Amino acid sequence: MFVRLCAGVLMSSSVASSVHALQDSGGKREIIVYTSNGCHKCSVLKEWLKTANRQFEERDLEDVEVMAELVMRNVVVLSAPVVEVNKTVYTEDQFFDGNMLAVNRLLGILEGNDDGQR
């Protein structure tokens, strides 16, 4: 899977992943948010997930190990944010409309509707 380039070149670093210990209001769906430093859409997405009390793990796309793990799974990420829900990867154009978070599409993805429909 390829993600379109949206914001510059990703650099490598060894920043560790962080886990946000928030209560999930739905089922036990594993949510991973792939982010990069200075990414406005990443901040918007993370803040919305926190506000919606969704538990998620954040992984830094600037971490070489994170990128290597994605490449080993045949997932090439060129822009952020990217959301993975139960091993399915969704690109930012699937849950953003321009610079605005498409909340209903994101809710559909989080609820298991692969087409992002709620």
**What CATH code is carried by the domain that includes residue 55?**
3.40.30.10
pLDDT at 90 over 60: yes
Burial 67-93 (b: 16+ CB within 10 A, else e): beebeeeebebbbbbbbbbeeebbbbe
Q: Is residue 96 part of a domain?
A: yes
- State mean pLDDT over 49-56: 96
pLDDT at 14: 29
Q: Is residue 24 part of a domain?
A: no
pLDDT band at 117; cut points 50, 70, 90: low
pLDDT at 64 over 70: yes
Q: Is residue 4 part of a domain?
A: no
Query: 103 lies in which domain range?
Result: 29-110
- State mean pLDDT over 34-52: 97
pLDDT at 78: 81
Q: For residues 96 and 41, give the distance between their C-alpha atoms in angstroms, rounded to a whole number.
A: 8
Are 8 and 77 spatial neighbours (Cβ–Cβ below 8 Å)? no
29: amino acid identity, one letter = R
Average pLDDT of the residues of the chain: 79
- State mean pLDDT over 100-104: 96
Q: Which two tokens stand for residue 25?
A: 């209001």
Are 21 and 63 spatial neighbours (Cβ–Cβ below 8 Å)? no
pLDDT at 27: 55
Number of residues written out for the chain: 118
Q: Say how many domains are in the chain.
A: 1
Q: Is residue 7 part of a domain?
A: no
Q: Which two tokens stand for residue 18?
A: 């962080």
pLDDT at 76: 85
Q: For residues 62 and 68, give the distance between their C-alpha atoms in angstroms, rounded to a whole number.
A: 11
pLDDT at 114: 60
